[in-house]
Structure 1
Amino acid sequence: MQTLGAKSAADLDKELMSEDGGFTIDQLMELAGLSVAEAVYKVHPPSKGKNVLITAGPGNNGGDGLVCARHLHHFGYTPRIYYPKPTKAAIFTGLQKQLNHLHIPFLTSLEEFTSALASSDLVIDALFGFSFKPPVRAPFDTVLSAIIDSKKPVLAVDIPSSWDVEGGPPEQGQLGSEFMPTYLISLTAAKPCVQWFKGERHFIGGRFLSADVAGKYGLDVPPYEGVDQIAEVPVDVSVEKL
């Protein structure tokens, strides 16, 4: 499987949002969040339980989680969001307003988060993306520890939180060393740490790359079907870093 390291992933995002690329951060986040929501529907349709807890970090990965929450609401789920460090940039405040209009609750305390976690059918890990550098710091260390201890099924967005994009899970004994999400959706392309992923299902999301741009970065566009924004790929594969 071809994977994008942190620098290549950042370069690709920069190119997509350049004058020549033509995309905006809003568009890419919307497409990413829609992909995450579709992956949820694929692995855990509402008939299996509608209570979905989204844990959102302060960066773009968290923004993908916020977009996902909006789509999940319209897909028939009951999403709840724990967003302990909201970002004040316009794109994030706009997403929060959209969610407030839909009466999707933002949990404001660890107590509310813990209660919601206990009654959730699925957890979305949208804490950190490919730019994350270990270790996990407060308050996210408490959040991640609770998710791991809960044994709830987890869908990780882009990379499992606490993992290094290149090196995978932290060393034994560190927070996240035993974290293995049930599902993973890699955005645009898989990252090198995917070689350590041993969960049940893996998807590529983000159906927006042209063949020309994909070829420039040595990527093959996955075989998206019909109107799907995601493509399922094998879990246990060897990887090639690009």
Structure 2
Amino acid sequence: MPMTAPDPAKLQLLEAALPNVAFDGWSPATFKAAIDATQMDPAQARALCPRGAVDLAALFHTEGDRAMVDAMKRESRGNRRYSEWVAHALRVRLDVIEDKEAVRRGTALFALPHLAADGAKLIWGTADAIWTALGDTSDDVNWYTKRATLSGVWASVVLFWLGDQSEGHAETDAFIDRRIAEVMQIEKLKAQVNESRLLKPLTAPLGRLMGMVKAPRAGGDPRVPGMWRMGGDR
């Protein structure tokens, strides 16, 4: 989905908040410190971020997606296989992160039960941004399955990366390759099942049903999966 630019004042709050996140997390104290640092009217800050630092944490994540998309526009697939191209996009998404502790604190924040749905939306948004950056043109059920699969991969990669202390995050690179290889094995198995003459009577009706599923249209209902928007910034 196209990513609209956030309000510059909101970005100013985010920039002011980041130095405090390592100490206070994405908390009310961090939000207050950002307001004080920017000398912004508290009412304006609350209008921009009704949930305070939670909204800034979401913005930090979506700005990472934006930076990844911008970086991928300057990239060339070259001779990479498609699976290698996806893996590269995951690495680029990690590379644009400038504050690992902010990600760690954000992961903990969106793991809280009342914010878990927001965390899932952000992960889905990253998967959608990656596939869009790679030029995905699917408009059927594959639009959903690609993003659902990559959401799971991205979530596991972030958790591994947060604990990775290897030089240059070499272990994370290897982990990404393993996860992508596992996904490719699943895709091969699915293809074999779909092509099996023995299973055709079972898979054919399901295939016709899945053929009725279409990707959400641009500008469509934001409540449709894949069309979620966080605070108007997606």
Q: Name the structure where helix makes up a greater proportion of residues.
A: 2
Larger radius of gyration: 2
Q: Name the structure where strand makes up a greater proportion of residues.
A: 1
TM-score, normalised to structure 2's length? Answer: 0.26
TM-score, normalised to structure 1's length? Answer: 0.26
